[in-house]
């Protein structure tokens, strides 16, 4: 896989067969961001040495003396169709891909201390700044979606400013932010638009083109970093306003944000679909806001996205993953080959970052010196001089979790309480959280707490307009959302034909887990894919209990029996967690999170 990513810099496929709009440019950087994370996480000297050998050889072979480092042979090919009056025809990923290479060099430097990586990053950044100046071209006029793809270089540029202290990088970031905010005729002004009242889907003449979730979320992450560096409040307020739009309009039933790969009012669509890259960046965006604001709700979004949408999209052996995660059907769309590559695809190449992002979110030091425990899946971590250990099998267990903090001096510990947990028992005593947190004191040495999370099933009624039922559409990029839905339901998976839903239904959660019916949990195909819903029939979710292991439910990580009641009536369904009943690429599988 590594060699294929390197080879893209020899073949220049992005410019030739990719007609100036390929994105093989991103894969070396994305791969090496994962290696940087792995080196930092494992501290394995052999992995560190292997990685640095590869990086040095790569930079020596491909970085030009002027600093340019890209798969595009023509340096100044920053977008295609420069003179086309139709703005949508502007396209290209030269700067988008350079962003990933730059970012990887920065993170490799951070993980290893290697100065060669930092020098190479500085040369890349200096070249880009000089290039745009020479061409007299604002970054908003490069790449795709009016600078949204290129502007995502904001995040690594802010990091480079932190590492070098050079104001030229911060000045460049300011130009990017101005482009995202100011130009009245530019449809790529997500910072200004964030404050609009209308739904994101209504901001654009063709939202199925403009409202591209991965690239927009990448820019939002950069805006948070920019706020950290400058204190410019409008940048943070804009991200928070955009985040509010995403929560109100775009949360999908799998726990991510977006519909297919765009912001198209996902909450209203019964046929849930979400790109794994968007889940990865939804988690990253929430992590940035959590660390910055300390608001517990952001950890709730991370947890729900990671345990459901994200893990559903990771194959069982962890070696590959999905491009699109679906709410129901036979299977997700496992990542097909893309942009001329055989071993890389945008989503699996992002996957490993999320493992590290999630693990790094378990605990943190707050600004006032407390230890904040934020995620409760089993793990051990060190924050400053405090060691934190979480055990208990959450969220698949009965809700008992033990947390141990080992600290050389007494300290305050704050525990995040998920919003779905109205009360938390600490050592058997019910405690009411304030703003999503409960505080406790840890003495010198080891202190242990026992928590009981409320794991009773919660039923949510999802409503939305009936979706039009249409025959399969041959139009791959139809801008009409119903056709778009049918097409992408069946894209690469003809076994999904006829499984479009016209109505959403009831979603049931147990703690942060989205429950699902499915073959692997022992639910019949007819019951699983049944298009009717309990939504309007007055049922409530009464209880959930572990199911005895049988051959039929052996594929679910934890099989349960979920029981609904309506008056004196009862209805029981075998279920599992959404991720483990759906994470196989098998056309004979079936699953659904809709009840
Ligand atoms: Zn992707």
CA of 261 to the centre of ligand 1 (A): 8
Rounded to whole angstroms, the Cα distance separating 70 from 140 reads: 19
Compute CA distances 157 → 98, 154, 235, 554, 579, whole Å.
11, 5, 16, 48, 35
DSSP annotation of 141 reads G
CA of 57 to the centre of ligand 1 (A): 28
- Residues with Cβ within 8 Å of residue 276, at least 6 apart in sequence: 309, 310, 313, 321, 322, 323, 324, 325, 335, 347, 348, 350, 351
| CATH class of this structure's domain 189-361 | mainly alpha
CB neighbourhood size of 337 (10 A)? 10
CA of 345 to the centre of ligand 1 (A): 7
- Residues with Cβ within 8 Å of residue 139, at least 6 apart in sequence: 95, 132, 147, 150, 151, 153, 175, 176, 179
CA of 96 to the centre of ligand 1 (A): 14
Rounded to whole angstroms, the Cα distance separating 343 from 237 reads: 40
CB neighbourhood size of 110 (10 A)? 17
Strands (E), 46-188: none
- Residues with Cβ within 8 Å of residue 472, at least 6 apart in sequence: 486, 487, 490, 497
CA of 311 to the centre of ligand 1 (A): 15
CB neighbourhood size of 44 (10 A)? 12
CA of 187 to the centre of ligand 1 (A): 23
CA of 323 to the centre of ligand 1 (A): 6
Rounded to whole angstroms, the Cα distance separating 94 from 20 reads: 8
CA of 174 to the centre of ligand 1 (A): 28
Q: Are 342 and 336 in contact (CB under 8 A)?
A: no
Nearest to 436, CA basis, from 451, 455, 449, 417:
417
pTM over 0.95: yes
Rounded to a whole number of angstroms, the distance between the first and last alpha carbons of the chain is 40
Task: Tell me the CATH number for domain 371-455.
Answer: 2.60.40
Rounded to whole angstroms, the Cα distance separating 66 from 76 reads: 13
DSSP annotation of 315 reads -
CA of 257 to the centre of ligand 1 (A): 13
CA of 348 to the centre of ligand 1 (A): 7
- Three-state secondary-structure class, residue 61: helix
Rounded to whole angstroms, the Cα distance separating 249 from 264 reads: 8
CA of 279 to the centre of ligand 1 (A): 9
Domain boundary assignment for the chain: 1-185, 189-361, 371-455, 459-466+503-592
Q: What is the pLDDT along the chain (595 residues), one digit of tens a residue?
A: 999 999 999 999 999 999 889 999 999 999 999 999 999 999 999 999 999 999 999 999 999 999 999 999 999 999 887 566 566 667 899 999 999 999 999 999 999 999 999 999 999 999 999 999 999 999 988 998 888 999 999 999 999 999 999 999 999 999 999 999 987 777 889 999 999 999 999 998 888 889 999 999 999 999 999 999 999 999 999 999 999 999 999 999 999 999 999 999 999 999 999 999 999 999 999 999 999 999 999 999 999 999 999 999 999 999 999 999 999 999 999 998 899 999 999 999 999 999 999 999 999 999 999 999 999 999 999 999 999 999 999 999 999 999 999 999 999 999 999 999 977 888 888 888 999 999 999 999 999 999 999 999 999 999 877 776 655 544 445 567 777 777 888 889 999 998 989 888 999 999 999 999 999 999 999 999 988 888 888 999 999 999 999 999 999 999 999 999 999 999 999 999 999 999 999 999 999 999 9
Q: What does the pLDDT read at residue 3?
A: 97
HEC profile for 101-116? Answer: HHHHHHHHHHHHCCHH
Same fold, 189-361 and 371-455: no
Contacts of 423-431 with CB under 8 Å at 24 or more apart are 423/454, 424/451, 424/452, 424/453, 424/454, 425/451, 425/452, 426/450, 426/451, 428/452
CA of 346 to the centre of ligand 1 (A): 4
CA of 516 to the centre of ligand 1 (A): 24
- Three-state secondary-structure class, residue 298: helix
Counting every residue, how long is the chain? 595
Q: What does the pLDDT read at residue 532?
A: 83
Q: For the chain, give percent helix, strand, coil, nearest 5.
A: 40, 20, 40
């Amino acid at each position: 896989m590594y060699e294929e990513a390197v080879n893209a810099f020899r073949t220049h496929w992005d410019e030739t067969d990719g007609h100036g709009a390929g994105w093989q440019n991103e894969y070396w950087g994305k791969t090496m961001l994962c290696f940087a994370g792995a080196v930092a996480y494992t501290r394995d000297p052999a992995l560190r040495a292997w990685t640095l050998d590869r990086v040095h050889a790569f930079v020596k072979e491909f970085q030009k003396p002027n600093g340019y480092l890209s798969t595009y042979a023509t340096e100044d090919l920053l977008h295609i169709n420069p003179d086309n009056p139709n703005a949508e025809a502007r396209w290209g990923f030269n700067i988008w891909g350079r962003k990933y290479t730059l970012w990887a060099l920065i993170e490799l430097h951070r993980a290893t201390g290697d100065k060669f990586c930092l020098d190479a990053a500085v040369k890349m950044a200096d070249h880009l700044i000089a290039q745009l100046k020479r061409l007299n071209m604002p970054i908003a006029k490069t790449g795709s979606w009016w600078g949204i793809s290129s502007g995502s270089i904001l995040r690594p540029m802010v990091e480079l400013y932190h590492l070098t202290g050079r104001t030229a990088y911060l000045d460049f970031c300011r130009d990017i932010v101005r482009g995202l905010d100011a130009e009245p005729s530019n449809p790529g002004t997500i910072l200004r638009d964030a404050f609009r009242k209308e739904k994101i889907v209504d901001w654009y003449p063709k939202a199925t083109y403009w409202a591209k979730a991965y690239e927009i979320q990448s820019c939002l992450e950069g805006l948070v970093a920019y706020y950290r560096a400058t204190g410019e409040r409008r940048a943070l307020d804009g991200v928070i306003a955009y985040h509010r739009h995403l929560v109100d309009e775009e949360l999908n039933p799998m726990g991510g944000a977006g519909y297919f790969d765009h912001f198209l009012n996902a909450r209203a669509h019964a046929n849930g679909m979400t790109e794994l890259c968007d889940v990865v960046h939804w988690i990253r965006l929430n992590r940035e806001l959590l660390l910055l604001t300390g608001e517990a709700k952001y950890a709730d979004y991370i947890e729900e996205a990671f345990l459901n949408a994200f893990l559903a999209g990771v194959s069982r052996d962890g070696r590959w993953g999905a491009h699109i995660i679906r709410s129901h059907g036979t299977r997700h769309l496992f990542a097909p080959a893309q942009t001329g590559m055989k071993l890389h695809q945008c989503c699996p190449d992002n996957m490993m970052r999320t493992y590290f992002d999630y693990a790094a979110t378990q605990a943190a030091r707050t600004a006032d010196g407390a230890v904040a425990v934020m995620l409760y899946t089993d793990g051990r971590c060190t924050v400053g001089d405090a060691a934190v250990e979480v055990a208990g099998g959450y969220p698949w267990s009965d809700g008992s979790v033990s947390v141990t903090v080992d600290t050389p001096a007494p300290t305050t510990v704050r525990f995040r309480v998920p919003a779905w947990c109205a009360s938390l028992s600490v050592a058997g005593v019910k405690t009411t959280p304030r703003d999503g947190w409960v505080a406790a004191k840890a003495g010198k040495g080891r202190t242990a707490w026992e928590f009981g999370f409320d794991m009773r099933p919660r039923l949510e009624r999802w409503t939305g307009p009936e979706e039009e039922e249409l025959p399969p559409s041959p139009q791959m990029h139809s801008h009409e959302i119903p056709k778009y839905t049918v097409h992408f339901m069946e894209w690469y998976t003809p076994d999904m034909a006829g499984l479009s839903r016209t109505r959403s239904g009831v979603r049931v959660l147990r703690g942060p887990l989205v429950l699902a019916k499915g073959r692997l949990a022992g639910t019949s195909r007819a019951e699983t894919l049944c298009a009717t819903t309990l939504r309007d029939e007055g049922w409530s979710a009464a209880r959930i209990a572990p199911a005895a292991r049988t051959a039929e439910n052996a594929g679910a990580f934890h099989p349960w029996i979920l029981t609904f009641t309506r008056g004196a009536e009862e209805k029981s369904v075998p279920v599992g967690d959404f991720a483990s009943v759906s994470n196989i690429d098998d056309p004979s599988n079936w699953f659904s999170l809709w009840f």
